[in-house]
Structure 1
Amino acid sequence: MMKNWLAAGAFALTAGMTATAAQAQTTTVPGEQVGLATGAPLPEGVYALNTFVYRSPDAPTVVSPVDVAVNIPVLVWATPWVPLGGRIELLVAPPTVFAFGRSSGPTGIKDLSINVGTFVGGIWAFDLGGNFGVSVLGGVYLNDLNGDRGVLVQNNGAFVGAPVLTQLASNTYRAGIAASYTGDNWNITANLTGNFYDSPGRFDGNNTFGTRGPFVISDSLNLDLTATKKFDLFNEGKAKFEFGAIGYGTVNVGSNANIVGRQGRFALGGLVGYDFGLFTAQAYVARDVVTQARFVDATGRSRDIENTEGWFRIIVPLYSPAPAPAPAPIVRKY
């Protein structure tokens, strides 16, 4: 069942935080799908999960004045419909982005939260046999309905800048494909996600700080990789502990990437998880090993802006249809 619970969280969908222009632009957060068997179809039922990530950059506060967090609640309905053998799964996710000022002084950035466009979408997932599965995803972040500009303000009330997430000026159209192997308690998964934008994009309504647009927005590709295995460490008769390696990254693509600036990053890390029965918990940490974001230090040397990210996830199966009762025996009397 653990692999099914992991697949339930396959589409923890949210927005990426790009507090500086040096980060690759993507609405789907790189790494939000690692640790999940995203290619495996779910059993019929309803599943809930919540994924939380906290990012801290290795750079002076003048370059990276905030730490960033994203909270991603997701509800997934694995329907009874299986056209051509692939299960249809419907989902909704209303994520929120947070920024926390790294300096407590009067010129430090005041904490803020940003309302991201709710994601609605669907998945078509196939069991290919031999513990292999593939899935395809399509959907949209409805940024035109509830995407927030995000306004940076100092602790003393002075305006710093806006918008924080220019990509929320356009609906984000998302497509993805995933493949998973889940045999012998392994989860080996690769997930490729594309974000596509109406560019240039504009925020609706009045713009006190001149933040309406238009904004040139670049498409992006994300890759999430997982190689974990579950173990029965205490001879309980069930593999409950999970350990393994993860990796994820993003890069800007398309003609607008030349205007916005081609940027990308890739991180590596490790994951641990435990099946508590009623729910499953996972935690993982990763650090950038490749990045195009840079800054110049006090000595005039150019250095990479490397991020360390900590993640925590809870996966809960809420409902599954009751198994069909066994047929009553036929009794004949002669």
Structure 2
Amino acid sequence: MMKNWLAAGAIALTAGMTTTVAQAQTTTVPGEQVGLAVGAPLPEGVYAINTFTYGGRDQGALDIGVNIPILVWSTPWVPLGGRLEFVVAPPTVFAFGKSSGPGGIRDFSVNVGTFVGGIWAFDLGGNFGVSLLGGAYLNEANAGRGVVVTNAGVLVPGAALPFLASNTYRIGVAGSYTGDGWNITANLTYNFYDSPATFSGNNAFLTRGPYQMSDALNLDLTATKKFGKFEIGAIGYGTVNLDPNLLINPVLGGATIGRGGRFLLGGLVGYDFGPFTTQFYVARTVARTADSFDSTEGWFRIVAPLYTPPAPVAVAPAPLVRKY
């Protein structure tokens, strides 16, 4: 019933959050597609995916959570042999303050840059697949609208995520092997921005000047095996800024963005319930640049098909009737 459900990861699309200069500027959350065969085409139908992650940081005053609901239409169209899949995903970011004083952030929530895009996925035969992804996070429509409350209970005015004051454009390429219950997948994602970023017409924000956004590169890796309804394996993911010498606020002469690179390793467990499938994975930072951070991150995902076309009914040939 859940044939090729792993391929639903081709649309596990989301938005990230940068709370300090000293971390990667990627809008696509590193690790968001881990555990999913993003290179394989989905069977025709409509699919729902929801992924939630929570990261506890060793450094800094905030822990970050992201919820990513996704709707996917895997179309019947296969130009040049590759299936077209259309995606919409409106992620929400949460932050929870720790010991940061009365002026620090206590609670934070914002709907970040709804993603709209498409995937062109090819079955190469021999259980190998490859996909190409393109789309945009509509940050200008969402990223300024959110709630920020300090530890003193004060509601902070202005844009919730000023550094996401421009749309993010995303391209990606992925390859998967899915034979004999294996999911061996590598997925490379590139983010680039309309930079410098300013919210149009937001005078309060413009007084602080525009933000320079670094392009970013993410890598998600999966190696899991299914044993009946269970799945188990190893995962890894990371991100790095590609323009580390940019000033994050050139008008005010702010600090540079920095390299902001890090990589995490961990394990994954999944279970196929039939009507839907779940996955849980945990990862820990194993390498980072000096201007990044260490964290332990937990993820939970549900994948469910909402509609699949009925299988064609075989029609028995009509008997031959001969008239004399």
Task: Report if TM-score (shorter chain) is over 0.5.
Answer: yes
2:64 corresponds to: 68
Residue type of the alignment partner of 1:290: A
Secondary structure of the equivalent of 1:56? strand
Mapped to 2, the partners of 1:223 and 1:3 lie a distance apart of 26
- After superposition, give the CA deviation of every residue in 1:174-226 in whole Å (9 maximum; x if it has no partner): 00000000011000000000001011110123344667631111000000000
1:77 aligns with 2:65: no
Q: 1:142 aligns with which of 116, 135, 138?
A: 138
| Distance of aligned partners of 1:116 and 1:34 in 2 relative to their CA distance in 1, 3 Å threshold | same
1:235 corresponds to: none
Q: How does 1:134-213 map to 2 (within 5 A)?
A: 134-148=130-144, 152-158=148-154, 165-208=161-204, 213=209
Contact map agreement 1:3 1:37 (CA 8 A) in 2 = no
Query: Tell me, which stretches of 5 or more residues in structure 2 are unaligned?
Result: 248-255
1:291 aligns with 2:288: yes
Contact map agreement 2:143 2:161 (CA 8 A) in 1 = no
1:245 aligns with 2:241: no
Mapped to 2, the partners of 1:2 and 1:256 lie a distance apart of 46
| Distance of aligned partners of 1:122 and 1:221 in 2 relative to their CA distance in 1, 3 Å threshold | same
| Distance of aligned partners of 1:251 and 1:150 in 2 relative to their CA distance in 1, 3 Å threshold | farther
Residue type of the alignment partner of 2:71: L
1:123 aligns with 2:125: no
| Distance of aligned partners of 1:323 and 1:3 in 2 relative to their CA distance in 1, 3 Å threshold | closer
- After superposition, give the CA deviation of every residue in 1:94-149 in whole Å (9 maximum; x if it has no partner): 01100011249755522110121110000000000000000000000011222226
Mapped to 1, the partners of 2:163 and 2:103 lie a distance apart of 27
TM-score by length of 2: 0.90
Q: How does 1:1-334 map to 2 (within 5 A)?
A: 2=2, 4-59=4-59, 64-103=60-99, 106-148=102-144, 152-158=148-154, 165-208=161-204, 213-231=209-227, 239-254=228-243, 257=246, 259-293=256-290, 305-334=293-322
Contact map agreement 2:199 2:206 (CA 8 A) in 1 = no
| Distance of aligned partners of 1:160 and 1:6 in 2 relative to their CA distance in 1, 3 Å threshold | same
- After superposition, give the CA deviation of every residue in 1:140-175 in whole Å (9 maximum; x if it has no partner): 001122222657542214578976644411100000
Shift in Å at residue 76 of structure 1?
0.5
Across the aligned residues of Structure 1 and Structure 2, the Cα RMSD in angstroms comes to: 2.3
Residue type of the alignment partner of 2:64: V
Mapped to 1, the partners of 2:32 and 2:50 lie a distance apart of 10
Question: How many residue pairs are counted as aligned between the two chains?
Answer: 314
Mapped to 1, the partners of 2:295 and 2:207 lie a distance apart of 27
Shift in Å at residue 323 of structure 1?
1.0
TM-score by length of 1: 0.87
Contact map agreement 2:244 2:259 (CA 8 A) in 1 = no
Contact map agreement 1:152 1:162 (CA 8 A) in 2 = no
Mapped to 2, the partners of 1:204 and 1:71 lie a distance apart of 27
Shift in Å at residue 260 of structure 1?
2.1
